[in-house]
Amino acid sequence: MKTRVTLTAALMAAAVAAQGQVSIPSTGTPVVVDFTGFDGSGFDPAPAAGQLDGDDWAITGLSDGTQNFGDSNISGDFAKGVTTGGVFSGGIYALDNGGDISMMIQPTGSDWTPGTVTLRLQNNTGGSISELDVAYDIVINNNEDRGNDFNFSFSTDDVTYTPVAALDYTSTEVGDSLGIMTVGRSTTLAGLTVINGGFIYLRWEGDDNTGGGSRDEVGLDNISVEAMAGGTVSAFNFASASIAANEGDGSVDLTVDLSTAADCDIDVVLTGGSATNGADYSLAASTTLNFTAVGATSQSVSVSLIDDMDLEMDETIDVQLQNVTGTCIIGAASVAEVTISDNDNAASGECANLYFSEYLEGSSNNKALEIYNPTDAAVDLSGYSVASFNNGATSPTNTQALSGMLAAGDVYVIANSSADSIILSEADITSTVTFFNGDDAIILFNGGDTIDAIGEVGVDPGSSWAVDTGFTNEHTLVRKASIKEGQTNWAIGATEWDVYAQDDFGFIGSHTQDACASVCNPADLPTNLSHVNLATRVELSWDPNPGSVGCQAGFQRLPAGPSPKLNILSPPYNSANVPYSAAGAGTTWMWRVRCACSISPVVATAFTGFDDTFMVPTPRQADLVDMDASIFPNPASELVTVAFDADASGESLVEVLDITGRSVLVRNLGVVEGINRVQLNLAGVDPGVYFVRIDGRAAGNLTVAR
C-alpha cells in the first residue's frame, strides 16, 4: 500500500510557509491537494485560516482581475465564501457538498469565459522527475442549460502548455436536478524533465461550449500527483538572480552555472531594465556561452559599467537565459537582474542645491510645496524628486519626479489639484505627493540622495511636528531668509521656518533669501602675482580666487633647476615668504600659484602662468660661512651620507631644510677632530630639492628622488 501525503487548506499553508509552494517531496508517494478547511475567503501568500496560499495558485478571467503566483486577493470575485450550490454571482467559492469541501467556480458572461486556474508544484525530490501520474475530481453542478468546457493542460515553464485531450470535459447542454456530481480524471505525463527545484504547472481552462443562458458551476477536488524519478539532466541557471553593483565598480559579472558538465550552449539575452545600454552600461544584446562535457560548469558574461557624473536613482539591467542547445535544459533561475547604484553625491553646502522654501498645510485640499533654487545658474530638474511618507511609513506613499529647468532665484511649486485658485495660479505641477497632513514626512531627493526634509521618515508624531512658534499641521511654513541650504536632520530643520496662519497664501510663488557668500569656482585663477625683497627673505603675494581654502606656490629656478612647491594653508592664503638661505644667494626664480576650493577631496584651480620672477641678493662675502662637506649619493632615495671636516670635539647639528627654510630632518652627533660623517634616513621626506646645513653653515643642496 502506497503512502499518501494529503494537503488540506491548513496543511497547504504550513507547507508553503516552509517550502514557498506546494512540494513534491519524494518519488513514488502521491501528494494530494485536499481543500478541507477552505472557506472561500480568497488567496494570500501568508494565508489566514480558510484562505488558499497565493504562492500556489494563478487565476485568470475574472472581472476583478488576475491572481498571479504570489498575489493577495481576499475580496470580490476571489473570495465569494461558502456555498452549497445554486449561486449566480461569478467568482471563486468553497463548495460544501455534505461536508466535503472543494474549490468551485461560477462562470458568468463576464467571469471565467474563458478563464484558467493553475496549480504550481515544486520538485523537491532531490533528483529529476521524468514522469508524473495526475488524478483529480471534477465537481459539477449541471443545473443550467448551457454546456461548459473544463479542460486540462500542463507545463514545465509556465509559458508553453501541452493540452491532454483525453481529459477534456464538457457539461451537458441540458441541465438536470441531480445536484452536485463528481467526475474522475487521471493521466500519466511522460517524457518530462523537471529538475530538482524546478516546477510543474497543472492548468484547468473553462469556456462556454454549447447552448445559452446561465452557466453550470464547476470545480476541483482531490488533486493527486505522484512523481517518477528520471535520469540526470544538466540545467542552466544564473548563480544569482539578484546582483548589486555600483557604477564605479567598472564591471559586474553575470555567472551562469551548469548543474552537470555537458556539451551544451546557452544565450545570455539582454531583455531590458531601467538602465540605458551605452549610457549606464555596455552589454551585447545576446552572448552565447559554450560548455563542454570536460569543461568548467560555470562561465560569466562581463557587463561594463559606465561611471558618469549624473545623479541617478538605482537603475536595473534585466537578462534572461534563452536558446539552449544540446541535451541540457534551462532551470528555474533563468532570469537575473543587476541593480546599479549611483556613486555620485548631491551638491551640498550654502547655496549649492535646491531646498524646500514653503510648505502649505491648509484647510481642505489647500496643500502645496515650494522648492527654491539658491544657485547662480538654472538647474535641470530631471534628477530631482519629492516623496511623501505618510503616517510613519518607511517607504514612499506618493512620489513626484520633477522636470524642466528652474532658473536661478526662482521657485517650483507643487500643488494639490483641488487647491485654491491662488495656489493653482502659481503651480508648476499638481501631484498626489501633496496628499499629506501635518504628521507626514516630505523628502526632497537629488538622484538617490536626500537633500532636504520636512519631518522624519518612519516616525508618526501624532497630529504634527512642532516648528518654531507653531506646528506642521494647519499652518503655512516659510523658510527663514537666513537659511541657504536644505537640512536632512529634522531636529535642526524644525528651527528653520517662519510660521504663518493656515491658508496664508501671500508667500507662494516666490522666496526671499539672504545673499549667498562668495562661492569658490575652480575655473577662476588667482591674480596679481607680485613680490617684495626684504632683508632676509622675499615676500610673495597674490589675490586668491574668492572662497579659497588653501593655496600652493610652485617655483622654477632659472635658467633651469628644481621645481619645489610650497603649501599655504593659513588664511588669508594670499602670501608666502621664501628665506634667502633656502632659495640660494644670487639665484633667480620664477613662480606661479594655484588655490583650492576644497582640500578633501582636492578641488583646485589650475596653476597660473609664471607671471612673476624674483632674484635672491648676493650677500657680502664676509657673510658667507660655507661648510666644506660632501653629500652622497645625490640624488638620494632612502639613505644619504653627509661627510664634513670637524673643527673640534663636541657636538654638531646636521639639518635638512626645504625651500621655505623649514627643517624637515635634524641629527645631533658627537664629533672629533678630522673627518666626520652621518647617515640620514630620508624615508619620511617628500621628493624635491632641499638644503643641508651643518651648525648653521651651508653645506650644499640635496635632491630627494624616487
Higher confidence at residue 35 or residue 651? Answer: 35
Burial of 306 (0-12, 13-18, 19+ CB in 10 A): middle
CA-CA-CA-CA dihedral for 410, 413, 419, 423, to nearest 10: 0
Q: What angle do CA 526, 528, 531 make, to 5 degrees?
A: 115
Burial of 39 (0-12, 13-18, 19+ CB in 10 A): middle
Work out the average pLDDT over 115-131: 92
Q: What percent of the chain has pLDDT over 70?
A: 92
pLDDT band at 624 (very low <50, low <70, confident <90, very high): very low
pLDDT of 219 strictly over 80: yes
CA-CA-CA-CA dihedral for 317, 322, 327, 328, to nearest 10: 20
* Amino acid (1-letter code) at residue 102: S
pLDDT of 627 strictly over 80: no
pLDDT of residue 14: 43
* Amino acid (1-letter code) at residue 667: R
Work out the average pLDDT over 34-54: 95
Q: Among 443-457, 475-489, 689-703, whose mean pLDDT is lowest?
A: 689-703
Quick one: which H or E segment has residue 16? helix 9-19
Q: Tally helices (H) and strands (E) across the chain.
A: 4, 56
The C-alpha cell at 505 is 497664501
Nearest Cα to 381, choosing from 336, 444, 324? Answer: 444
Work out the average pLDDT over 295-319: 88
pLDDT of residue 672: 55
pLDDT band at 16 (very low <50, low <70, confident <90, very high): very low
Is the C-alpha dihedral spanning 49, 52, 55, 59 positive or negative? negative
The C-alpha cell at 370 is 515650494
What three-state secondary structure class fits 511? coil
Burial of 155 (0-12, 13-18, 19+ CB in 10 A): middle
* Amino acid (1-letter code) at residue 496: E
Q: What is the pLDDT of residues 588-604, one digit of tens each?
A: 889 898 888 877 677 77
pLDDT of 574 strictly over 60: yes
Is the C-alpha dihedral spanning 642, 648, 652, 654 positive or negative? negative
Work out the average pLDDT over 443-471: 92
Q: What is the pLDDT of residues 511-529, one digit of tens each?
A: 999 988 766 788 888 899 9
pLDDT band at 20 (very low <50, low <70, confident <90, very high): very low
Q: Can you tell me the distance from the alpha carbon of 92 to that of 79, in angstroms, rounded to the nearest whole number?
A: 6
Q: Can you tell me the distance from the alpha carbon of 62 to that of 30, in angstroms, rounded to the nearest whole number?
A: 31
Indicate the DSSP class of residue 277.
Answer: B
Is the C-alpha dihedral spanning 328, 329, 331, 336 positive or negative? positive
DSSP secondary structure string for all residues of 466-505: EETTEESSSSEEEE-TT--S--S-HHHHTTSEEEE-TT--
pLDDT of residue 570: 64
Q: What is the pLDDT of residues 543-562, one digit of tens each?
A: 988 878 888 888 888 887 76
Q: Can you tell me the distance from the alpha carbon of 50 to that of 58, in angstroms, rounded to the nearest whole number?
A: 18
Q: What is the pLDDT of residues 329-370, one digit of tens each?
A: 888 889 999 999 887 778 788 888 999 999 999 999 999 999
pTM of the model: 0.45
Work out the average pLDDT over 26-35: 92
Q: Can you tell me the distance from the alpha carbon of 128 to that of 141, in angstroms, rounded to the nearest whole number?
A: 39
pLDDT of 5 strictly over 70: no
Work out the average pLDDT over 253-280: 93
Question: Hey, what domains does the chain have and what are their CATH numbers?
Answer: 5-229 (2.60.120), 235-341 (2.60.40.2030), 355-500 (2.60.40.1260), 527-615 (2.60.40.10), 625-704 (2.60.40.3080)
659-664 long-range contacts (CB < 8 A, ≥24 apart) are 659/555, 659/564, 659/566, 659/578, 659/582, 659/583, 659/688, 659/689, 659/690, 659/691, 660/566, 660/576, 660/577, 660/578, 660/579, 660/582, 661/578, 661/579, 661/581, 661/582, 664/690
pLDDT of 532 strictly over 90: no
> Which position has the grid cell 505641477?
429
530 phi-psi bin (left φ>0, alpha ψ -120 to 50, beta other):
beta
pLDDT of residue 53: 95
The C-alpha cell at 583 is 632659495
pLDDT of 82 strictly over 60: yes
pLDDT of 1 strictly over 50: no
Quick one: which H or E segment has residue 423? helix 421-426
Q: Can you tell me the distance from the alpha carbon of 401 to that of 403, in angstroms, rounded to the nearest whole number?
A: 7
The percent helix, strand, coil of the chain (3-state, each to 5) is: 5, 45, 45
Higher confidence at residue 12 or residue 23? Answer: 23
* Amino acid (1-letter code) at residue 47: P
pLDDT of 676 strictly over 80: no
> Which position has the grid cell 540526470?
232
Residues forming beta bridges with residue 532, ordered by sequence position: 539
* Amino acid (1-letter code) at residue 269: V
* Amino acid (1-letter code) at residue 469: T
Strand 639-646 versus strand 286-291 pairing type: unpaired
* 353 within 8 A of 451, measured Cβ to Cβ: yes
Quick one: which H or E segment has residue 704? strand 697-704
Residue 294's CB: how many other CB atoms inside 10 A? 7
pLDDT of residue 646: 64
* 280 within 8 A of 315, measured Cβ to Cβ: yes
CA-CA-CA-CA dihedral for 355, 357, 360, 365, to nearest 10: -60
Length in residues, the chain: 706
Rg (CA), the chain: 40
Q: What is the pLDDT of residues 160-218, one digit of tens each?
A: 999 999 999 999 999 998 999 999 999 999 888 888 888 999 999 999 999 999 999 99
**DSSP E strands, 5-145:** 5-7, 22-24, 31-33, 43-44, 52-53, 57-62, 65-67, 82-83, 91-97, 100-106, 115-123, 129-141
Nearest Cα to 356, choosing from 251, 243, 247, 507? Answer: 507
Residues 6+ apart with CB under 8 A from 244: 338, 339, 341
Q: Can you tell me the distance from the alpha carbon of 132 to that of 188, in angstroms, rounded to the nearest whole number?
A: 6
Strand 551-558 versus strand 441-446 pairing type: unpaired
> Which position has the grid cell 544564473?
238
Q: Can you tell me the distance from the alpha carbon of 440 to that of 302, in angstroms, rounded to the nearest whole number?
A: 44
pLDDT of 621 strictly over 60: no
Work out the average pLDDT over 274-299: 94
Q: Can you tell me the distance from the alpha carbon of 296 to that of 639, in angstroms, rounded to the nearest whole number?
A: 52
pLDDT of residue 3: 53
Work out the average pLDDT over 469-498: 94
Q: What percent of the chain has pLDDT over 90?
A: 59
